[in-house]
Amino acid sequence: MTLQNDLDEAGELLERALAQGRADDDQAGIALALAGQGITALFTGDFDLALRLLTTAGDLFRDSGHDDVLFLLIDVFRGVACLFKGDFAASVDHADRVERTGEERGELWVRSYGMLVGGLALWLAGDLDASLERLRRSLRIKRDLDDGLGMTLALEATAACISSHGEPTRAVRLLGAADRLREFTQTSWFGPALLREIHTGKAMEALGEERYRTAHEEGGRLPLADAIEDALGEAPSGGSGKSGGAQVGGPLTGRELEVASLVAEGLSNRAIAERLTIAKRTADSHVEHILAELGFSSRAQIATWITARST
């Protein structure tokens, strides 16, 4: 709920979780509730409170004997809080620690968020080349993991850095692609919209309102794979940027085409997950990406598309 900016309801649920953790003397539960409150504070713009809560949560989580991926995620958001406070060096330090620990454990999901935060801090600090290298590494991993939220954030962050490199039109097209993906993930930017306002404001100033709007609309029509290839500086591979299966499924991979066919049969995401023996979250992500790739807004449109392909 916090990532969807439903902060009031998120706050109520976190208060209940914190009370339950204290009642049960569950140190890990208390740590998670405090971490959630810290992230909520981040989204409200209270960066000092966010950093205090996240630091306390990290200490409690470590003292509780737990040392899993959630502990790393707390450090990611500590890096975000430092970034918004303008302490870019501290933000990069947190991001580096996440990367090192993630690499030691063979973990990619949180580690790539560390790359993203470090890249943003370097962008704001003016080290554009180092920033773009980190952001592209993050985006590449998010693409490989099929992480809708991660791709949205990394794509926009990469667009911001590309804009600062003097390519506002290209950057706004990528932003348009990221915004379309965001419609399906229903998530907001990392915390307040301050970072977005920085790079969109500069691009608007460089392009003017009409050219900005045109570039943004063009990006919204780009297949997601093409937008990501552009952001990564990869040579277009034709059409969707996917090889092999892309020739058969158009902009979809073979697995996405299989999921789309099951959607056309009327199966729910849970039923699709059971049929393919995958997690429901994975099925949810596949459907989100299918909608984004095809530029659709409903499952009925997917069904119509599948039917048209088979005739």
Across 274-284, average pLDDT = 83
CB 152 within 8 A of CB 119: no
Place of tokens 């993203």: 116
Q: What is the mean pLDDT of residues 124-142?
A: 94
Whether residue 220 contacts residue 184, with contact meaning beta carbons closer than 8 Å, is answered with no
Question: Which of residues 192 and 62 earns the better pLDDT score?
Answer: 62
pLDDT of amino acid 198? 81
- In the CATH scheme, what architecture does the domain 245-309 have? Orthogonal Bundle (1.10)
For residue 106, the tally of other CB atoms under 10 A from its CB is 7
* Spatial CA neighbour of 309 closest among 266, 270, 258, 273: 258
Instruction: Give, rounded to a whole angstrom, the gap between the first and last alpha carbons of the chain.
Output: 42
Map out the domains of the chain as residue ranges: 104-112+121-232, 245-309
Burial category of 99 from C-beta neighbours within 10 Å (exposed 0-12, middle 13-18, buried 19 and up): buried
Alpha carbons 59 and 64: distance in angstroms, whole number: 9
CA 212 to chain CA centroid, nearest Å: 23
Query: For residue 247, what pLDDT band results from cuts at 50, 70 and 90?
Result: very low
**Tens of pLDDT, residues 81-128:** 999 999 999 999 999 999 999 988 888 999 999 999 999 999 999 999
User: In one letter, which amino acid is 294?
Assistant: L
Q: Which of 88, 15, 80 is nearest to 51 (CA)?
A: 80
- The whole-angstrom separation of Cα 34 and Cα 18 is 7
Q: What percent of the chain has pLDDT over 70?
A: 87
Q: What is the mean pLDDT of the chain?
A: 85
Q: H/E/C letters for each residue in the chain?
A: CCCCCCHHHHHHHHHHHHHHHHHCCCHHHHHHHHHHHHHHHHHHCCHHHHHHHHHHHHHHHHHCCCCCHHHHHHHHHHHHHHHHCCCHHHHHHHHHHHHHHHHHHCCCHHHHHHHHHHHHHHHHHCCHHHHHHHHHHHHHHHHHHCCHHHHHHHHHHHHHHHHHCCCHHHHHHHHHHHHHHHHHHCCCCCCCCHHHHHHHHHHHHHHCHHHHHHHHHHHHHCCHHHHHHHHHCCCCCCCCCCCCHHHHHCCCCHHHHHHHHHHHCCCCHHHHHHHHCCCHHHHHHHHHHHHHHHCCCCHHHHHHHHHHHCC
pTM of the shown model:
0.71
pLDDT band at 244 (very low <50, low <70, confident <90, very high): very low
83 vs 243: which has the higher pLDDT: 83
Token pair of 24, please?
């049960």
CA 129 to CA 233: how far, in whole Å?
Answer: 13
